[in-house]
Amino acid sequence: GAVVSQHPSWVICKSGTSVKIECRSLDFQATTMFWYRQFPKQSLMLMATSNEGSKATYEQGVEKDKFLINHASLTLSTLTVTSAHPEDSSFYICSAKTLANNSFGPGTRLTVT
Amino acid sequence: DAKTTQPPSMDCAEGRAANLPCNHSTISGNEYVYWYRQIHSQGPQYIIHGLKNNETNEMASLIITEDRKSSTLILPHATLRDTAVYYCIATYGGSQGNLIFGKGTKLSVKP
pLDDT in tens, B38-77: 999 899 999 999 999 999 999 999 999 999 999 999 999 9
- Name the residue with higher pLDDT: A7 or B99: A7
Name the residue of chain A whose CA is nearest to B43's CA: A106
pLDDT at B97: 61
Neighbours of B94 (CB within 10 A): 11
Asked if B7 contacts B105 with a C-beta cutoff of 8 angstroms, the reply is yes
Chain A residues closer than 8 Å to B94 by CB: 99-100
Q: Where are the beta strands (DSSP E) in chain A?
A: 4-7, 10-13, 19-25, 32-38, 45-51, 57-58, 67-73, 76-81, 90-97, 102-104, 108-112
Q: Give pLDDT, residue B93.
A: 66
- Per residue of chain A (113 residues), what is the pLDDT tens digit? 789 999 999 999 999 999 999 999 998 998 899 999 999 999 999 999 998 888 999 999 999 999 999 998 999 999 999 999 999 999 999 999 887 788 999 999 999 99
Mean pLDDT, chain B, whole residue set = 93
Minimal Cβ distance to B42: which of A34, A49, A107: A107
User: B99–A107: do the CB atoms touch at under 8 Å?
Assistant: no
Q: Say if CB B98 and CB A34 are below 8 A apart.
A: yes
Yes or no, beta carbons of B44 and A104 under 8 Å apart: yes
> Residue type for B97, please?
G
Instruction: Give the C-alpha separation, B22 to A4, whole Å.
Output: 28
User: Which residues on chain B are in Cβ contact (under 8 Å) with A102?
Assistant: 46, 96, 99
